[in-house]
Amino acid sequence: MLDYETLKLVWWVLVGVLLIGFAIADGMDMGVGMLLPFVGRDDAERRVVINTVGPHWDGNQVWLITAGGAIFAAWPAVYAAAFSGFYLAMLLVLVALFFRPVGFDYRSKLEDPRWRNAWDWGLFAGGLVPALIFGVAFGNLLQGVPFHLDAFLKPHYEGTFIWALLPLLNPFALLAGLISVAMLALHGALWLQIRTEGAVAARAKRAVSLLALVVTGAFALGGIWVLLGIDGYRIVSEPAHSALPNPLAKEVVREAGAWFAVYATLPIAMLLPATGLLAPLAARALSGMDRPGLGFVASSLGMTGIIGTAGAAMFPFVMPSSSQPGSSLTVWDAPSSRLTLTIMFFAVVIFLPIVLGYTLWCYRAMWGKVTVAEIEAKKHHAY
């Protein structure tokens, strides 16, 4: 049986794995949606693009649902604080996600070009908006969120209800949003290069060439910005990590360069930002050599590096407070009870391999190039 401190750390890793899994799986079809109006020049080509992800997008979305459920069960304090402060942002994501199931299922039901074009842009929004908002959220976490906890551990936010959206869109957060959008679009472009041929694959290849440079450049700029212009957070004193959660029992200070302290104490962590910088360039090179499958793997590693960089830099913080640093939520003082974490851990050990195995089987069973000829031959049976 794992002790409480170890369980807290294990669930920090597992939540990170779920977020990375979401970026790799569901991020791929969001990226395809973002590229849909641009790599498909006519209706047949756009149907080709849609059919590369049509059989998989809903299964991929399980990663997002599971990540949200895991945060709710493993870190209820984080779930409560985040969904209170980011309420309008989360609502905007939800509205954008509505376009995906309706767009995939009903886009080709009518022959009217206006109907189909409208849903093409709806799928574009369903990919772009969540990717942008998730990146913006990470950017705000690195800066700290203006909330504090009262004596009953209830979160309170500064400002009005409108704060929940407008001040989130600050310059650094928008840069983080650009990184998120570009890396998911890059991932989607590589997928299209794998699954299509002809003009669509050629346009996807050109998109990879551009997007890889955007991801690397924006990620490098974000790192410099954090180093020179954004204070991190450091714990001065706290209870034992095995103690029952109490976010108000610690002392926290804001400090320049604190987000880079992990690289001094644990140099191997430098592999994460190095991977985030170099893997997109490797994906670009592999795409140029017509090896998009390996490029897709490199893109997945790049996303792992970028997301992992943010998680490692902030550790053990999960949701820092800019208005009252002592109210910040960390890996050690925001989780559920030991019993809850234990039950969830064994559920993951049993069911995650099943989900992964079924997902891989689905991809293998429906593998192959999607072509214009195939789409035209299955006019009423494909997406």
Burial of 358 (0-12, 13-18, 19+ CB in 10 A): exposed
Task: Give residue limits of the domains in the chain.
Answer: 4-224+336-377
d(CA 354, CA 366): 18
**CB-based contacts of 119: which residues, under 8 Å, 6+ apart?**
99, 102, 103, 106, 107
pLDDT the model gives residue 160: 53
How many Å separate Cα 181 from the centre of its chain?
10
Query: For residues 307 and 18, is the Cβ–Cβ distance under 8 A?
Result: no
What per-residue confidence (pLDDT) applies to 368? Answer: 81
| Calpha distance 138→176 (Å, rounded) | 7
> What pLDDT is attached to residue 225?
96
DSSP lists the bridge partners of residue 317 as: 330
Q: Return the pLDDT at 63.
A: 86
Q: Is residue 172 within a helix (H) or strand (E), and if so which, with residue range? A: helix 171-195
Let me know if 288 is exposed, middle or buried by CB neighbors in 10 A (0-12, 13-18, 19+).
Answer: middle
Predicted local confidence at residue 297, as pLDDT: 96
Task: Kindly give, in sequence order, each residue whose CB lies less than 8 Å from that of residue 267, ignoring residues fewer than 6 positions away.
Answer: none
Two tokens, residue 42: 């006519």
Whether this prediction's pTM lies above 0.75 is answered by yes
Tokens of residue 286, six digits: 């592999």
pLDDT in tens, 143-164: 998 888 888 888 888 765 555 5
Helix, strand or coil for residue 253? Answer: strand
What is the full per-residue pLDDT of the chain (383 aa) written as tens digits?
A: 789 999 999 999 999 999 999 999 989 999 999 999 999 988 889 999 998 998 888 888 888 888 888 899 999 999 988 887 778 888 889 999 999 988 888 888 888 899 999 999 999 999 999 999 999 999 999 999 888 888 888 888 876 555 556 677 889 999 999 999 999 999 999 999 999 999 999 999 999 999 999 999 999 999 999 999 899 999 999 898 888 889 999 999 999 999 999 998 999 999 999 999 999 999 999 999 999 999 999 999 999 999 999 999 999 999 999 889 999 999 999 999 999 999 999 998 898 888 888 888 888 887 888 877 777 777 666 67
CB proximity list for 378: less than 8 A, separation 6 or greater: none
Quote the pLDDT of residue 382.
Answer: 62
Q: What is the pLDDT of residue 356?
A: 85
Per-residue model confidence as pLDDT tens digits over 351-374: 888 888 888 888 888 788 887 777
How far is the C-alpha of 253 from the C-alpha of 148, rounded, in Å?
Answer: 14
Place of tokens 């209820």: 76
322 Cβ contact partners less than 8 Å away, ≥ 6 residues apart: 143, 144, 145, 146, 254
